């Protein structure tokens, strides 16, 4: 773990900061999540309210911390879900080949042909909007992208002699997927995971901004933008804080992902 480049250090620091703030939100936040603590709406920053107050007089810093908790939790859970389903199915399609591959791949093509935001809006308009529903929906929609990547990587690995050697030994599909292919496909997948996580943050924020994501009074960054967007007209920066948070989180996570990618793909083929 020595020789971490500066960019990765910065990335790690801010990523850790956001995640810690999310985990320990109840301990850090100065007020309760949905407590109206001031009579003044959109109060400017003061020693009492470090970022000021929001559209109905709640402490904005508290909202931001709790909002980060919700956003990061949803994004993380959906990313994990999409990677588990996407990569397992992608590997399975690559290893099986033939009609299994065709059915899975064409189904994924079909899903990708529909813009995911529109599909998500349609589904969320029909089913009750709860956290598990949002997570499963986002995870499955994104799994199609992961499936494509995982299949492409696995198709290359699948023709290597060591996979053939495993087949000649009589190994089953699960050994081939989890012991021969997965360890060698990990580095592109990890890098993609960083990228996908950020898309998840953006996606859930978009849904919330449109009012179909996280429901009030629960805070999340997209929701905070929505609640405070009218303030922008009067020069109130409350809606910009979540945007700033999303941007910095995106950059830090990608700095870390870049570093992981560099570490695992050296000039020598990166199998070290």
Partner 1 sequence: MSDPLLRVRDLKIGATVYPPGEKPKKIEIVHGVSFDLEKGKVLGLIGESGAGKSTIGLSSLGYGRGGVEITGGEVWVNGRDILKGGIKGLRKLRGAEVTYVAQSAAASFNPAKKLMEQVTEGAISHGRMTRAEAEKRAVELFRKLGLPDPENIGNRYPHQVSGGQLQRCMTALALCPKPDLVVFDEPTTALDVTTQIDVLAAIKEAIRDTGVAALYITHDLAVVAQVSDHIMVLRHGETVEYGETDQIINAPQKEYTQALVSVRSIEHAENLPKGDPVLRVSHVTARYKGTNFDVLKDVNVELHPGKTLAVVGESGSGKSTLARAITGLLPPTGGRIEFAGRTLSPGLNQRTRDDLRELQMIYQMADVAMNPRQTVGTIIGRPLEFYFGLRGDAKRKRIRELLDEIEMGDGFIDRYPAELSGGQKQRVCIARALAAKPKMIICDEVTSALDPLVADGILKLLLDLQKIEDVAYLFITHDLATVKAIADSIAVMYRGKVVRYGPKSDVLAPPFDDYTDLLLSSVPEMRLGWLEEVIASRRMESAGN
The structure tokens 């995870």 sit at 139
Q: Given the complex with partner 1, which of 12 and 123 has the nearer CB atom? A: 12
Which residues face 59 on adjacent strands?
A: 53
What lies within 8 Å, CB to CB, of 100 at 6+ separation is 92, 93
Angle at 211 between CA 210 and CA 214, to 5 degrees: 120
Q: How far is the CB of 71 from partner 1 (least distance, A)?
A: 34
Q: Given the complex with partner 1, which of 109 and 164 has the nearer CB atom? A: 164
**Using the rule CB under 8 A, is 162 a contact of partner 1?**
yes
In sign, the C-alpha dihedral spanning 32, 205, 252, 60 is negative
Site string for partner 1, 233-272 (x = CB under 8 A): ---------------------------------xxxx-xx
Using the rule CB under 8 A, give the single segment among 32-40, 107-115, 178-186, 201-209 that binds partner 1: 178-186
Q: How far is the CB of 263 from partner 1 (least distance, A)?
A: 9
Number of residues that bind partner 1 (CB under 8 A): 22
Out of 165, 232, 240, 247, the residue judged to bind partner 1 by CB under 8 A: 165
Q: For residues 155-174, b (16+ Cβ closer than 10 Å) or e, as one string?
A: bebbeeeebeebbeeeeeee
Out of 110, 152, 160, 240, the residue judged to bind partner 1 by CB under 8 A: 160
Q: How many CB atoms lie within 10 A of CB 257?
A: 22
Q: How far is the CB of 95 from partner 1 (least distance, A)?
A: 13
CA 183 to chain centre: 22
**Using the rule CB under 8 A, is 161 a contact of partner 1?**
yes
Distance CA 46, CA 44 (A): 6
What is the 3-state secondary structure of 33-85? CCCECCCCCCCCCCCCCCCCECCCCEEHHHHHHHHHHHHHHHHHHHHHHHHHH
Using the rule CB under 8 A, give the single segment among 37-45, 112-120, 143-151, 169-177 that binds partner 1: 169-177
Using the rule CB under 8 A, give the single segment among 30-38, 176-184, 188-196, 247-255 that binds partner 1: 176-184
Out of 167, 251, 258, 261, the residue judged to bind partner 1 by CB under 8 A: 167
Q: Given the complex with partner 1, which of 27 and 161 has the nearer CB atom? A: 161
Distance CA 96, CA 173 (A): 8
Residues in contact with partner 1 by CB under 8 A are 2-3, 160-162, 164-165, 167-171, 179-180, 183-184, 266-269, 271-272
């Amino acid at each position: 773990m020595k020789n971490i480049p500066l960019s990765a250090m910065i990335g790690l620091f801010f990523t850790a900061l956001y995640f810690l703030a999310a985990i320990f939100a109840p301990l850090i936040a100065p007020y309760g999540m949905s407590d109206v603590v001031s009579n003044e709406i959109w109060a400017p920053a003061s020693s009492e309210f470090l970022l000021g107050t929001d559209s109905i007089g709640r402490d904005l810093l508290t909202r931001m911390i709790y909002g980060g908790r919700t956003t990061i939790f949803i994004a993380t859970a959906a990313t994990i879900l999409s990677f588990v389903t996407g990569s397992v199915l992608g590997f399975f399609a690559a290893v099986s080949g033939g009609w299994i591959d065709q059915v899975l791949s064409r189904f994924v093509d079909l899903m990708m042909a529909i813009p995911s935001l529109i599909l998500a809006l349609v589904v969320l308009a029909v089913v009750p909007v709860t956290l598990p529903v949002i997570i499963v929906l986002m995870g499955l929609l994104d799994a199609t992208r992961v499936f494509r990547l995982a299949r492409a990587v696995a198709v290359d690995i699948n023709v290597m002699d060591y996979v053939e050697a495993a087949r000649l030994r009589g190994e089953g599909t699960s050994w081939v997927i989890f012991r021969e292919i997965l360890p060698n496909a990990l580095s592109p997948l990890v890098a993609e995971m960083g990228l996908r996580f950020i898309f998840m943050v953006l996606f859930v924020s978009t849904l919330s901004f449109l009012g179909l994501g996280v429901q009030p009074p629960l805070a999340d960054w997209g929701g905070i933008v929505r609640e405070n967007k009218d303030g922008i007209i009067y020069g109130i920066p409350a809606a910009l804080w979540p945007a700033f948070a999303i941007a910095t989180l995106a950059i830090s996570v990608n700095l870390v992902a870049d570093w992981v990618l560099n570490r695992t793909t050296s000039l020598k083929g990166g199998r070290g």
